[in-house]
Structure 1
Amino acid sequence: MLNEKRLWEYPSQLLGRLRGRGLAWAALALGLLILMALALRMVSGVLRRDEVWARIQRDKVLRVGMDASFPPFETVDAEGRFSGLDVDLATELGRRWGVEVRFVNVSFDGLYDALKMDKFDLIISALPYDRTQTRDLLYSPSYFNAGQVLLVRGDDLRLRSFDDLEGKTVAVELGSEAHQLVRRLARDKGMHLEILAEREPEQTVALLRQGKADALVCDRVTAYAYMRDTDDLRLVGPPLTDEPYVIAARADAPILMEQVTRALEEWRANGLLDELLRKWL
């Protein structure tokens, strides 16, 4: 016959064993979680390594690539002196980090390849954002919007936005982005306006100044160039399109790009970026 006392003790012993095993499994699971956390931290540390930033800090040299043929953003004189908005941005980065800035002049089409070949650390060269490059490169926030804008005569107070061009005449460069944009906006908005398309950009601004056109649509860089010549023109309304100019670094330089982004954000907040834009544009 079964011992009645042992029969009653068996469930409690079984529960004790299960409880012991449960604690063991819990301890094992906790240990695995700790190991996983440490492993993730180590992997994160490896991924966060930035040899480019480490070299800049060690050698005290920042190498900046640009195509110095696009004033007022970048140009170089016969004696090799660089100047322009992008040059000032790079110089401010060097001052901020306490390093020397060395400029490398490369044709615009070769900038990306030269960056990937480690010819320099950053591209600062009126560089439009290119989402097709985001797998291999890191981009900063925009520091200038070079999109299409609306330019009018300074004494014409009737026009405040593109919508005010109903029944008016708009000058554009023939076949340009501005030409296509004005046609599309007029069609989409159901507006009736006359488009004067000229082969040469100088002809378009001449039409505006002569009163033969009520407005001119062009990119923002060109608009600023026209306004530098005389004070009889002004911009109205927000940009009609966005073409952000950005700074680029290789994908393996995340800390460097973080530092660039932090600098641009601070300069936008404290007014330094606006000061440089006014100086050159």
Structure 2
Amino acid sequence: MTARTLQQYCRHFLVGSALAGAALASFSASAKVDTINHIQKTGELRLCFEAGYIPFEMTAKDGRYVGFDIDLAKHLARSLGVKFVPVNTAWDGIVPALKTGKCDFIAGMTVTPKRNLNVLFADAYIKMGQTVLISPKLKDKIHSYRDLNDPKYTIATQMGTTGAQGAKKYLYKAKVDLFDTSADAVLQVMNHKADAFVYDLPYNAMYAAQHKGKVIHLDQPFTYEPMGWAIRRGDQDFLNLLNNYMKQVRGDGTYDRIYHKWFKTDAWVSQVQ
């Protein structure tokens, strides 16, 4: 081997070693995702959500966070023997909050392929879809979401949600106005600034029940949307824990009891803001 060949060999070896080292460092970084270990060390289970998503995550009149997702997460925390810590987070910053370790998992997130590029989803714990609330003035004109696909109609929904995606995909001819929160968006219909509001079925059903005569609910979903807990990518141990927990509560009646409380009765409505 000549001196020049030896130099080339060394150079290739060093470059290859550097690349291998970078790959190993990347692998090691992903391997460090260990939520279970963090939960055991801190004695806390932290859930990210955006309050105001009826009936999943809401703020009670006394300041507590309540709802279907809250009850499930609280029960999970008790099952693990740790403290439940709610982390109310604006929706547009909820995935960054998860990635930077401000919480352990996200509730109330619809599973989509695009979102799956950034987070890992546990098995879906509830399935639903988008429906429409319309202004009463359109009662005799609008009988289906398809009737709203017209330039003369204005659709309100929350930005960054599957409601926004559904409106843009299926009501592309209409004007779609996006708002920071679902509460701001649905008020556009109440204040006669929009003709319809597109959002998740449970939210719309409860809103229509609370505002009879002010909105009309077209309650046939026009999308299929499974919802699941979102966690950091690479966290397979925590994924296994969440999936096994859900199997347990579905089998022992806990899930049905919590579901009935929030979706089959309205006894809780007077408690929330």
TM-score (normalised: structure 1): 0.55
- After TM superposition, the structure 1 = structure 2 runs for residues 126-205 of structure 1, keeping only pairs within 5 Å, are 126-148=108-130, 170-172=143-145, 174=153, 177=166
Matched, 1:220 2:201: yes
The verdict on how the C-alpha distance between 1:228 and 1:142 changes in structure 2, with shifts beyond 3 A counting, is farther
Residue 57 of structure 1 aligns with which residue? 40
- After TM superposition, the structure 1 = structure 2 runs for residues 79-98 of structure 1, keeping only pairs within 5 Å, are 80-98=63-81
State the alpha-carbon separation in 2 of the partners of residues 249 and 218 from structure 1: 24
TM-score (normalised: structure 2): 0.57
1:264 Cα offset (Å): 1.5
> What SS does structure 2 have at the residue aligned with 1:170?
coil
- After TM superposition, the structure 1 = structure 2 runs for residues 1-281 of structure 1, keeping only pairs within 5 Å, are 51-77=34-60, 80-124=63-107, 126-148=108-130, 170-172=143-145, 174=153, 177=166, 219-225=200-206, 228-229=209-210, 239-281=221-263
For the Cα contact (< 8 Å) 1:62–1:102, is it kept in 2? yes
Deviation track 1:53-95 (CA, whole Å, cap 9, x = no partner) reads 1121232211111111223211234654111111111101101
Residue 183 of structure 2 aligns with which residue? none
For the Cα contact (< 8 Å) 2:111–2:226, is it kept in 1? yes
Larger radius of gyration: 1
The verdict on how the C-alpha distance between 1:118 and 1:200 changes in structure 2, with shifts beyond 3 A counting, is closer
Deviation track 1:178-220 (CA, whole Å, cap 9, x = no partner) reads 797599xxxxxxxxxxxxxxx96569xxxxxxxxxxxxx9742
The verdict on how the C-alpha distance between 1:136 and 1:227 changes in structure 2, with shifts beyond 3 A counting, is closer
> What SS does structure 1 have at the residue aligned with 2:73?
helix
The verdict on how the C-alpha distance between 1:91 and 1:256 changes in structure 2, with shifts beyond 3 A counting, is same
Deviation track 1:128-173 (CA, whole Å, cap 9, x = no partner) reads 113223244210122222314699xxxxxxxxxxxxxxxx971546
> What SS does structure 1 have at the residue aligned with 2:123?
coil
For the Cα contact (< 8 Å) 2:54–2:206, is it kept in 1? no
The unaligned stretches of length 5 or more in structure 1 are 1-45, 152-167, 184-198, 204-216
My pick for the range that moved more, 129-138 or 56-65, is: 129-138
State the alpha-carbon separation in 2 of the partners of residues 105 and 236 from structure 1: 29
The unaligned stretches of length 5 or more in structure 2 are 1-28, 134-140, 156-165, 173-186, 192-197, 264-273
For the Cα contact (< 8 Å) 2:34–2:237, is it kept in 1? no
Aligned pair count reads 195
% identical equivalent positions: 27
For the Cα contact (< 8 Å) 1:178–1:219, is it kept in 2? no
State the alpha-carbon separation in 2 of the partners of residues 182 and 262 from structure 1: 39
